[in-house]
Amino acid sequence: MEGQGHSITHYKQYPPNVSKIYSYFECRRKKDSQFSEVVFFGLQYLLKKYLTGPVITEEKIQEAKLFYQMHFKQAVFDEEGWRKVLEKHDGRLPIRIKAVPEGRIIPRGNVLFTVENTDPNFYWLTNYIETMLVQMWYPITVATISREFKKILAKHLKATSGSLEGLDLKLHDFGYRGVSSQESAALGGAAHLVNFRSTDTVAGLLMAQRYYACPMAGFSIPAAEHSTIISWGRNREKEAFERVLDQFSSGPVSVVSDSYDIFNACKHIWGDKLKEQVMERSQDSCLVIRPDSGDPTETLIEVIKILEECFGCSLNSVGYKVLPSYLRIIQGDGIDLTSVDEILQKLSDEGWSAENMFFGCGSALLQKLNRDTLSCAFKCSYVETNGKGMDVYKQPVTDPSKGSKRGRLSLRRNSDGFLETIERGAGKPEEDLLVTVFENGSLVQDYSLEEIRKNARLQDEELNPILHNHEQELLHNHIFNGIH
């Protein structure tokens, strides 16, 4: 339960006789941001792993004392304070956390969770656990971006095929090697699984299993990678491909085909030398060809044209071209929100259905994001000193968007049906959508991935872009001209 170095010194800095510090977390509104709403996810992991049960022990207090003595070159560590937690509360944190249910979709600029101490002696604890709780930015941001991908994929899939079948397998998590640590892989991987069920990030599955009660949250297919192709030598790419097909004759298989020349591989190897073997495969054991270099859109257009020439295609019920069911393509290089939209748009312009495509996303899904992506912030909004409550806030003249909310907060649905945050303790408890999830060392709510997935599923309005525009505008205006 590390704090940030200087958090250790904060207990000395609050006004005398402070008895409560109440803070909250939000994804602040930011003008011109492409993300107007967020998926709330990941708190349960942090609670279960780091905050539940007796987290303070005498051993840890001693370690910390020694450590901070050296780190600050002086004694600033509040040994007595921490020992009191141990003695009075058995090492359990006297903290209450209220939060939006996981998986819920909440517009920017709203309170997502609040933290307060439940014992007046431990007012400094709220701020101490801040740094760890701010790391919520990560699973929230991954889950949000993953869902944005889903909206784009749904839009194109609906338009070019008439249905959303297979949507939740359309975006494969390729991010394992590109994240900064195993733990991030697990957390990010799990966040993606809120929206999809295809992943190569093992750790995410295990995270979902252990912290969100989901025995098997996602699936994958056998796949080649460059080493398994190039190890055959430059002149034996066909043999390498053939081997993969033979080894995995039932079930889909993905074969990276750009080790030397993707176009040659498609035209002369898949489309000619191995054409029969490809055609023998059933829909349930299709070959998925994977380009992995060059401009994604251009490469895909050329690849799909070559495949059309070699294998033919058919028209689906809405008049778009589909490759034979034994053949598909996965693009796993250079994919982000912009490129996936461009690719599918271009394909659609050329008459191709999104059914032909799968996508893999690596760093854009799990690494190429940061706390500023959704402007995540944790701020103190209310304190009690000498028995009196006071609404507090920051409001820097140099940046109004960094202003924070005031007083005790609640989240409710207003009469227009929009979610809004009520400040200054003015909210009615019965309308409050924030739920106590953690209290005095115990987990009070336990969400399963199944529930979370339900909460996070795409709504009809999001699936139907034409009808949705007007409401989107309303919501957009509501958020960005919102209450403060």
Partner 1 sequence: MSRRPEVRSSLLCDHTAGRVAAIDRGEHPSGGLESLTAPLEAAPSGRHFTEVTHYKQYPPNTSKVYSYFECREKRTDPTKSRKVKYDKTVFYGLQYILHKYLKGKVVTPEKIQEAKEVYREHFQDDVFNEKGWTYILEKYNGHLPIEIKAVPEGSVIPRGNVLFTVESTDPECYWLTNWVETILVQIWYPITVATNSREQKKILAKYLLETSGNLEGLEYKLHDFGYRGVSSQETAGIGASAHLVNFKGTDTVAGIGVIKKYYGTKDPVPGFSVPAAEHSTITAWGKDHEKDAFEHIIKQFPSVPVSIVSDSYDIYNACEKIWGEDLRGLIETRSADAPLVVRPDSGNPLDTVLKVLEILGKKFPTEENSKGFKVLPPYIRVIQGDGVDINTLQEIVEGMKQHKWSIENIAFGSGGALLQKLTRDLLNCSFKCSYVVTNGLGVNVFKDPVADPNKRSKKGRLSLHRTQSGDFVTLEEGKGDLEEYGVDLLHTVFQNGKIVKTYTFDEVRDNAKLKESELEELLH
Site for partner 1 in 286-345 (CB under 8 A): 292-295, 299
Contacts of 73 (CB under 8 A, 6+ apart): none
> Does 195 help bind partner 1 (rule: CB under 8 A)?
no
Complex with partner 1: residue 85 or 463, whichever CB lies closer = 85
> Does 386 help bind partner 1 (rule: CB under 8 A)?
no
CA distance linking residue 346 with residue 316, whole number of Å = 18
Query: Read out DSSP for 205-233?
Result: HHHHHHHH--S---B---B--HHHHHTT-
> Does 168 help bind partner 1 (rule: CB under 8 A)?
no
Looking only at residues 345 through 374 of this chain, which bind partner 1 when binding is defined by CB under 8 A? 362-363, 367-368, 370-372
Looking only at residues 387 through 446 of this chain, which bind partner 1 when binding is defined by CB under 8 A? 390, 392-399, 402, 404
Locate 124 and state its tokens.
């400094």
Locate 208 and state its tokens.
């979902």
Locate 125 and state its tokens.
């604890």
Q: Where does residue 3 fall: left (phi above 0), alpha (psi -120 to 50 degrees), or beta otherwise?
A: beta
Please select the residue that binds partner 1; options are 38, 61, 143, 479, rule is CB under 8 A: 61
> Does 163 help bind partner 1 (rule: CB under 8 A)?
no
> Does 90 help bind partner 1 (rule: CB under 8 A)?
no
> Does 458 help bind partner 1 (rule: CB under 8 A)?
no
Q: Are 84 and 92 in contact (CB under 8 A)?
A: no
Q: Looking at 144-152, 211-219, 318-326, 345-353, which segment touches partner 1 (CB under 8 A)?
A: 211-219
Q: How far is the CB of 310 from partner 1 (least distance, A)?
A: 19
CA distance linking residue 456 with residue 191, whole number of Å = 11
Complex with partner 1: residue 71 or 413, whichever CB lies closer = 71
> Does 79 help bind partner 1 (rule: CB under 8 A)?
no
> Does 18 help bind partner 1 (rule: CB under 8 A)?
yes
Complex with partner 1: residue 99 or 376, whichever CB lies closer = 376
> Does 1 help bind partner 1 (rule: CB under 8 A)?
yes
DSSP-assigned beta bridge partners for residue 172: 360
Number of other residues whose CB lies within 10 A of the CB of residue 11: 20
Helix, strand or coil, per DSSP, at residue 245: helix
> Does 378 help bind partner 1 (rule: CB under 8 A)?
yes
Locate 141 and state its tokens.
């941001």
Complex with partner 1: residue 112 or 224, whichever CB lies closer = 224
> Does 235 help bind partner 1 (rule: CB under 8 A)?
no
Complex with partner 1: residue 214 or 433, whichever CB lies closer = 214
Q: How far is the CB of 58 from partner 1 (least distance, A)?
A: 11
Dihedral pair phi/psi, residue 271, rounded to 5°: -85, -5
Please select the residue that binds partner 1; options are 101, 178, 425, 482, rule is CB under 8 A: 178
> Does 464 help bind partner 1 (rule: CB under 8 A)?
no
Residue (of 443, 482, 373) closest to 99 by Cα position: 443
Residue (of 174, 207, 179, 169) closest to 191 by Cα position: 207
> Does 268 help bind partner 1 (rule: CB under 8 A)?
no
Binding mask 115-144 for partner 1 (x = CB under 8 A): ------------x--xxx-xx-xx------
**Number of residues in contact with partner 1 under rule CB under 8 A:** 129
> Does 3 help bind partner 1 (rule: CB under 8 A)?
yes
> Does 463 help bind partner 1 (rule: CB under 8 A)?
no
Q: Are 452 and 212 in contact (CB under 8 A)?
A: yes
- The alpha carbons of the chain give a radius of gyration, in whole angstroms, of 26
Query: Read out DSSP for 69-108?
Result: HHHTTS----HHHHHHHHHHHTT---EEEEEPPTT-EEET
Complex with partner 1: residue 154 or 214, whichever CB lies closer = 214
Dihedral pair phi/psi, residue 353, rounded to 5°: -80, 150
Please select the residue that binds partner 1; options are 76, 274, 288, 301, rule is CB under 8 A: 76
